């Protein structure tokens, strides 16, 4: 199916990451799972396309042919079509199945469009990029005063606090949010940053003095990780895990925290995750 509108696109498994998940970090994306043989799809699709054009860029419509993209259908657990999935900030936020009336679809779309609080978060992020940390923090706290579990405001403020060293405050903010990949990554970063103030030279001396002292090795590894010196930190943590002593679980968790911060695609994550699995056996 070819679409004339710039806001309606045919999407496949190969470009789904770019055209849907990454795009949804800028504006919401509706994913229309359809098939040529589906009668209700022929009713719903033109209506969705018209509403998308009316919105003039407020959101985009990505059309996925389920017959040609079965992997995506399985990933999103599509059991019947048409199924419409709303994606924001890289994750599903809502869905409906079947050819709903236009009024119901308009209500659905209204529920995923940015609110005034969302716009305040965007302004705060722009302020952060411009170097106005105080202004950004003020706006984010305003949003959270009005909605304490606003996900984007919470993660943005927590990231700011953790980067500044206010670890406990950052963790309190994260504790009010729904758990997701961003929250878990920031919680891992917070745990790693807790050793940022330690004197690295003293820790290195203690670790060199007694290589069998697992507490000294752990303390040095955490301090290195807090300074984003991840490879030497992972080496030392892996050694603690391999020794199978009392600090083994703490070292394993610290390695997992580093993996969370680095992300699954980072080469260090792939390398040390395999080595960790071997050491744990």
Q: Which residues contact 36 (CB under 8 A, 6 or more apart)?
A: 1, 65, 67
- Quote the CA–CA distance of 53 and 59 in Å, as a whole number: 9
b/e per residue, 32-62, with b = 16+ CB within 10 A?
A: bbbeeebeebeebbeebbebbeebeeebbbb
- Give the DSSP letter string of 78-125: --SSSEEEEEETTEEEEEEES---HHHHHHHHHHHS--HHHHHHHHHH
- Give the DSSP letter string of 83-94: EEEEEETTEEEE
Q: Which residues contact 267 (CB under 8 A, 6 or more apart)?
A: none
- Quote the CA–CA distance of 145 and 157 in Å, as a whole number: 12
Q: Known catalytic residues? A: 38, 41
- Give the DSSP letter string of 220-233: HHHHHHHTT-HHHH
What SS3 state is found at 130? coil
Tokens read off for 6: 């710039």
- Quote the CA–CA distance of 253 and 241 in Å, as a whole number: 10
- List for the chain the helix, strand, coil content (%; round to 5): 60, 10, 30
Q: How many CA atoms lie within 13 A of 144 on its CB side?
A: 22
């Amino acid at each position: 199916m070819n679409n004339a509108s710039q806001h309606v696109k045919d999407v496949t498994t190969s470009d789904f990451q770019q055209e849907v998940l990454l795009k949804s970090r800028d504006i919401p994306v509706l994913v229309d799972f359809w098939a040529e043989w589906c009668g209700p799809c022929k009713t719903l699709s033109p209506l969705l396309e018209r509403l998308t054009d009316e919105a003039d860029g407020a959101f985009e419509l990505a059309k996925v042919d389920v017959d040609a993209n079965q992997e995506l259908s399985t990933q999103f657990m599509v059991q019947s079509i048409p199924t419409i999935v709303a994606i924001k900030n890289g994750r599903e936020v809502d869905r409906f199945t079947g050819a709903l009336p236009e009024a119901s679809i308009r209500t659905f779309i209204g529920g995923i469009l940015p609110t005034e609080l969302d716009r305040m978060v965007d302004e705060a992020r722009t302020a952060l990029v411009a170097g106005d940390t105080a202004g950004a923090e003020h706006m984010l706290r305003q949003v959270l005063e009005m909605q304490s579990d606003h996900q984007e405001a919470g993660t943005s403020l927590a990231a700011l606090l953790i980067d500044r060293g206010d670890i406990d405050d950052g963790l309190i903010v994260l504790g009010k949010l729904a758990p997701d990949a961003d929250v878990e990554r920031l919680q891992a970063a917070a745990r790693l940053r807790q050793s940022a103030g330690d004197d690295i030279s003293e820790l290195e001396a203690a670790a060199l003095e007694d290589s069998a002292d697992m507490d000294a090795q752990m303390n040095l590894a955490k301090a290195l990780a807090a300074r984003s010196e991840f490879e030497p930190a992972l080496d030392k943590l892996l050694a603690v895990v391999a020794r199978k002593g009392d600090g083994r679980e703490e070292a394993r968790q610290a390695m997992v925290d580093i993996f969370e911060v680095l992300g699954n695609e980072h080469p260090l994550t792939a390398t040390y995750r395999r080595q960790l699995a071997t050491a744990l056996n």
